[in-house]
Structure 1
Amino acid sequence: MKIKILVAAHKKFPMPNAEGYMPILVGAAKNYKPGIEYQRDDEGENISSKNPNYNELTAVYWAWKNLKDVDAIGLVHYRRLFFDSKPYSLDNVLSIEKIERLLTEYDVILPKKRNYYIETNYSHYIHAHHKEPLDRTREIIRKNYPQYLSNFDKVMKRRKAHMFNMFIMRKDAFESYCSFMFGVLGKLENIIDISEYSIQEARVYGYISELLMDVWLETNSFTYTEIPWGQIGGKNNFKKAVSLIKRKFGIKAKTHFK
């Protein structure tokens, strides 16, 4: 089985040396600096110029349109990866052998769900970001993808979700996922105005896509398993928890931490 795991990065950073991992520079034209020898997301058919709004999804789009001779495709981030074991270091990233074993049994590999405890997925999103894009996403699904609507509503009411835009998928699942996700996001892009959004909020399509994963997964018949993930340099869990509580009560707070 030929497997490629994209490691999305916007700068030079230590990368896994394990077989199958492919560092990819997102927003390549803007972020390239001499000495960065990663795959670029602006080669072939691409949406690299939309990286400020789509985040790491420009790497996913590049793979969707340009990686044709593979059996499975994955996405991790330069600091956030799947691991075989602790300690979470580049020497312990999930091996291609284990990935292949898992993909003989499952179609999709995902990180363990994130639990918001005091928030639903919907309330968490609208307390952290602009409300309109998520409401418009529901309209798009209702009009264009009605078979997904009931699961969209179910996912919004839950307190857990597969977040982070991290996954490994067999090629047929990946094709299905990209077709749905980019279809929805393309329509959303055509009907919302983000010209007054802050730099952080302008990443809206990347944020929305995180909530589409479970909607897609539960509407289709693909099987999945969850595995541990870790972050090089720690997860800032305490800061995230404090920020979550502040936003719950209408106090402005950061939504993302390095």
Structure 2
Amino acid sequence: MNSNNLTMYMVTHKPVDFIPEGRTPIFVGNGDNIRDYLRDNTGDNISEKNPYYCELTAMYWIWKNDSSSKYISIEHYRRFFMDPNALVPKVCPKEKIEGYLEKGKIVLPSITKWHMSVGDIYREGHVGKDLDNVANIIAKEQPEYVADFNQVMSGRDQHGLNMMVLPKAIFDEYCEWLFNILFKLEKETDLSDRSKYQQRMYGFMSERLEDVWLKHNEYNSEVRELPIYFVLDTKLKSILKSEKNRFN
């Protein structure tokens, strides 16, 4: 594969020292971009929504402004896809990611298995009314997704993290579906009385909706799951946490 066909975006809200080879930083929000990274407040953008949408403002920017990449990857400055064959945890090289793409795979984080349903986990940690509103929006706007939504919310498996590697054309289709739902949800939601953490609701909600879209469009059989490499304040801490994640 021509390496120029895959752009591996690393989403960050601050300057960072650790940028794995082959990654392209994209700066989100209104912070001081002293490293001259790509920014999500250029071109067609929703950068002002970053406190509520988290890394989704970068995803929106990529959807609307990247017209040259055949494949794209979304990672975060503290979370990267891990090389599954490395004896000591390390970030998965771009060349290996390209190999998965050549085999027709979508790369996602390893499944998280919850002790209760995905829907109940959301209600326990966030505002349950938002999930009800999403269910109503899907029933009204995308009724063909209702069964998939109900199955995902009643199940206990979740990919999450808004990390992915996939063809740009498929990514565009996903974004069109996702943001259509989230923009409608905005019209029914008041975040003003919520903590800053709970105001990040659209980012949290999208982590659940991703599996709904994958299931409905029958992409689950094409997924290659990879563990996550976590970047902490020391390399030893990063390795230990990543090793623990590998076997969870």
TM above 0.5: yes
| Match in the other structure for 1:138 | 135
1:15-94 superposed matches below 5 A: 15-19=18-22, 21-27=23-29, 30-33=30-33, 35-84=34-83, 85=86, 87-88=88-89, 92-94=90-92
Q: One-letter code of the match for 2:12?
A: A
User: Are 2:11 and 2:55, in contact at CA under 8 Å, matched by a contact in 1?
Assistant: yes
Q: Distance in 2 between matches of 1:86 and 1:129?
A: 37
**Percent identity of paired positions between Structure 1 and Structure 2:** 36
> What amino acid maps onto 2:69 in structure 1?
V
> Where in structure 2 are the equivalents of 1:160-179 lying within 5 Å?
160-179=157-176
Residue 197 of structure 1, aligned match among 183, 186, 194: 194
Counting only pairs closer than 5 Å after superposition, residues 75-154 of structure 1 correspond to structure 2 as 75-84=74-83, 85=86, 87-88=88-89, 92-117=90-115, 119-154=116-151
Matched residues in 1 for 2:56 and 2:140: separation? 24
Aligned residue for 2:218, secondary structure, equals: coil
* C-alpha contact (below 8 Å) 2:91/2:229 kept by paired residues: no
Instruction: Quote the Cα distance in structure 2 between the aligned partners of 1:150 and 1:46.
Output: 32
The answer on whether the counterparts of 2:8 and 2:24 sit within 8 Å (CA) in structure 1 is yes
Contact 1:81 1:93 in 2 (8 A): yes
RMSD: 1.7
Cα displacement (A) at 1:93: 2.0
- Cα distance in 2 for partners of 1:155, 1:221 equals 13
Unaligned runs of 5+ in 1: 238-258
**Structure 1 residue 172: Cα displacement:** 1.9
**Residue equivalent to 2:182:** 185
* DSSP 3-state at the match of 1:31: coil
1:57-88 superposed Cα distances (whole Å, 9 cap, x missing partner):
00100000001101111111101110223544
Cα deviation, residue 194, structure 1: 1.3
Distance 1:216 1:70 in 2: 22
Cross-structure match for 2:209: 212
1:42 CA drift (Å): 0.4
CA deviation digits over 1:153-204, x for unaligned, max 9?
0000111101111111111210111111111101101111112111110001
Q: In the alignment, is the contact (CA less than 8 A) between 1:108 and 1:168 conserved in 2?
A: yes
Deviation of 1:107 (Å): 4.2
Partners in 1 of 2:147 and 2:80 — Cα distance? Answer: 31
Relative to 1, partners in 2 of residues 1:111 and 1:57: Cα closer, same or farther, differing over 3 Å?
A: same
Runs of 4+ with deviation above 4 angstroms: 234-237
Cα distance in 1 for residues equivalent to 2:20 and 2:212: 33
CA distance in 2, matches of 1:124, 1:221: 24
Deviation string, structure 1 residues 113-147 (Cα, Å, up to 9, x no partner):
11112x21111111101111111001011110111
Check the 8 A contact 1:64/1:175 in 2, yes or no: yes
Size of the aligned set, in residue pairs, is: 229
Task: Give the match for residue 246 of structure 2.
Answer: none
Distance 1:226 1:173, change over 3 A: same
Q: Distance in 1 between matches of 2:106 and 2:170?
A: 7
Tell me the equivalent position of 1:10: 13
TM-score (ref. length: structure 1): 0.84
Q: How far, CA to CA, are the matches of 1:213 and 1:125 in structure 2?
A: 14
